[in-house]
Structure 1
Amino acid sequence: MNEDLEKKLEPFFWIEYKGGVSLGLSAGSFKKEIFDTRKDEGFEGNGYDWGSLARVFLNEKMPELKGEINLDPEAEMFSAYSKNAMALQKFALGFRAMCDDDEMMSNLFSQVEID
């Protein structure tokens, strides 16, 4: 993994392993203000909430990658993985850029259904 790419993805992190790659995020504090807008519906900004947001992002912004990217969130951790490193990298950069655009993130988050 290129150091410049690692910096672009922060606070997400990239893991390479035999047979694939994954993207992770320790959930809870990053972009909490977005998740707090729907706190009364039960959203907390946990890994499941991030997984739901990632599913909407894939459907809306990168439908061509839906068959390549797998989501495996847990309460404290968001995780996406793939056997295709280039597909996951494309998703990771796009998803991270979405996080920098509060309006886009809020619009996509408005479509999320709680798990």
Structure 2
Amino acid sequence: MNFEKQIKPFWWNDSNGSFSVCLNAGDYKPEIFESREDEGCEGNGYDWEALARVFLEEKCEELLEDIEFDSEAGMFCAYSEDSEALKKFVLAFKDACEDSEFILELFSRAEID
């Protein structure tokens, strides 16, 4: 399976040596964020970023220095100058998101702004 298909609904962007992976917030796995609706969680880009940060810290610690975030209300965005590090992150993160029990447990530790 090719990389672009593996990461859907996330999408890859390559722009002059900087690489990013994005997601339209609200389009994917809304049940994750519904689990913390009472805390103001909406499933927006910032909520996705909070989840991604916990994932990085706990499951991909070796990539912490390589991955940055620039999310907005309507879109999650992670970026890096290291394409391989970002690819490794998004593949692992997408797999984690497909494991409902695991991702809900992980999200329970995310800091919601």
Shorter-chain TM band: over 0.9
- Aligned twin of 2:70: 72
2:2 alignment partner, SS class: helix
- Aligned twin of 1:11: 9
- Aligned twin of 2:60: 62
- Aligned twin of 2:92: 94
Give per-residue Cα distances to partners, 1:36-91, cap 9 Å, x unaligned. 01101100110000000000000000001000000111000000000000000000
Partner Cα distance (2:76, 2:60) in 1: 18
Structure 2 portions without partners, runs of 5+: none
Name the count of aligned residue pairs. 113
Partner Cα distance (2:2, 2:19) in 1: 17
Where in structure 1 do 4 or more consecutive aligned residues deviate above 3 Å? none
Per the normalisation by structure 1, the TM-score is: 0.95
Percent identity at matched positions?
52
Q: CA deviation at 1:29?
A: 2.7
CA RMSD after TM alignment: 0.9
Give per-residue Cα distances to partners, 1:79-113, cap 9 Å, x unaligned. 00000000000001000001100011001100011
Q: CA deviation at 1:19?
A: 1.8
For 1:94, the aligned partner's letter is: A
Partner Cα distance (2:4, 2:44) in 1: 22
